Amino acid sequence: MSKTLIQNARIFTPGVPSFLGWLLAEDVKIADFGENSAPETLCNNVDEVINAKRQNLLPGFIDIHTHGCLGCCTMDADPEKILKIASFHVTHGVTTYLPTTMTDTTEVTVRAIRCVTEFVGKRGNFAKIPGVHLEGPFFNAAKCGAQDTANIRRATIEECKTFLNAGVIKRIAIAPEFPENLKAADLFKDEGISISAGHTNAVYADMAEALNHGFRSVTHLYNGMSSFTHREPGAAGAALSLDEYSCEIICDNIHSHPAAQNIAWRCKGAEKIVLITDMIRPSGLPDGHYPQADGSEFIVSHNGTELRIPSGALAGSALTMERGLKNFTANAHASLEETWRCSSLNAAKLIGIDHETGSIEKGKLADIILLDDDFNVKRTIIEGQTVYIQD
């Protein structure tokens, strides 16, 4: 059994203020941790000692909404590309992620689900994949964003069963304002799948009703949904006011204004905000125009931080989790002490993996990152194994 001791780390764990201390990983799990220095008996008996130099020790990031990067996309249904994406993630502190589909035909979607499912349970120098996130195709074309309107459709039970039979689905985004879509949600709910209201023109009443069909979160709050107004609070207003809803949010300061992020923090608090990247194919590439095989085009600008399609619509983001956490913490006028859950534990709870990962607690998997005070990822550890170091 391999033993790794991390000394001199600022440890963030539920229930107590962060403290300087040590953590022992035994094999794949967190065996113990405590304040100050580790007991001497422990120090003699380990395979590796890591000096964290007072950096922040957090649970690894969990990104539940991310499509691709470096020219690769979940929709390519190519194992080599999934591996490339998953390897990129660990360099940004992500230890678990859900490869996320885009609206497409049944056939193409099924191929993507099958490909992702091959990675469930695999371990290596790449982020872990518990299953797939279906972003669509059961949306409202009026709020399509960068999703392909030609393939947006109402749900049928038959198509939902086809998806379920294709592999492991952990999360699905659906527009809840259509009765057919609510029936589909009932089916996914019975399978224990996390259901999110997204690309939706729902009014407040639709969002309240959706709670009865298993919806517990919204897809990128503010984007691709009916906006808040004082007479009709829309999907955004419902997400902010109904406690049951967790809110995905893209904190690149492009998809949502810093003040809108601050409002989300004030309404939802530390346990219902789920930071996501929504990274897409050109993320991680330099500025330029990237024509796609299907005739569409992505435009990367502003030093790789802004991604649009030629119509000018945002196409997803080039955000990384550590930058999202940094932006959100600043925009919330909060400290890491208050916001750390938003990049790990809240997501783990939403997709039902918090019994084994998502926080620094004894007996959980040693999925850990070290983050310096400027939010740079210095080390990523997955199940006790270091998979990334930045010196």
Footprint of Zn ion on this chain (CB under 5 A)?
Answer: 135, 278
Min separation Cβ 64 and Zn ion, Å: 10
- Identify the residue whose tokens are 């990523």: 380
Closest CB to Zn ion among residues 18, 200: 200
Q: What three-state secondary structure class fits 44?
A: coil
Min separation Cβ 288 and Zn ion, Å: 21
- Determine the number of helices (DSSP H) and then strands (DSSP E) in the chain: 11, 22
Query: Among all residues, whose Cβ is closest to Zn ion?
Result: 278
Which helix (H) or strand (E) is 98 found in, with range?
strand 94-99
Min separation Cβ 316 and Zn ion, Å: 6
Q: Which of 104, 278, 354, 367 is catalytic?
A: 278
Nearest to 62 by CA among 275, 374, 361, 296: 275
Min separation Cβ 41 and Zn ion, Å: 49
Return the exposure string of 175-207: e unless at least 16 CB atoms fall within 10 Å of the residue's CB, then b.
bbbbeebbebbebbbeeebbbbbbbbbbbbebb
Residues 6+ apart with CB under 8 A from 150: none
Closest CB to Zn ion among residues 214, 316: 316
Closest CB to Zn ion among residues 104, 278: 278
Closest CB to Zn ion among residues 135, 367: 135
CB 65 within 8 A of CB 277: yes
Closest CB to Zn ion among residues 63, 367: 63
78 catalytic residue (yes or no): no
Residues 6+ apart with CB under 8 A from 45: 3
CA of residue 53 relative to chain centroid, distance: 28
Min separation Cβ 135 and Zn ion, Å: 5
The catalytic residues are: 278
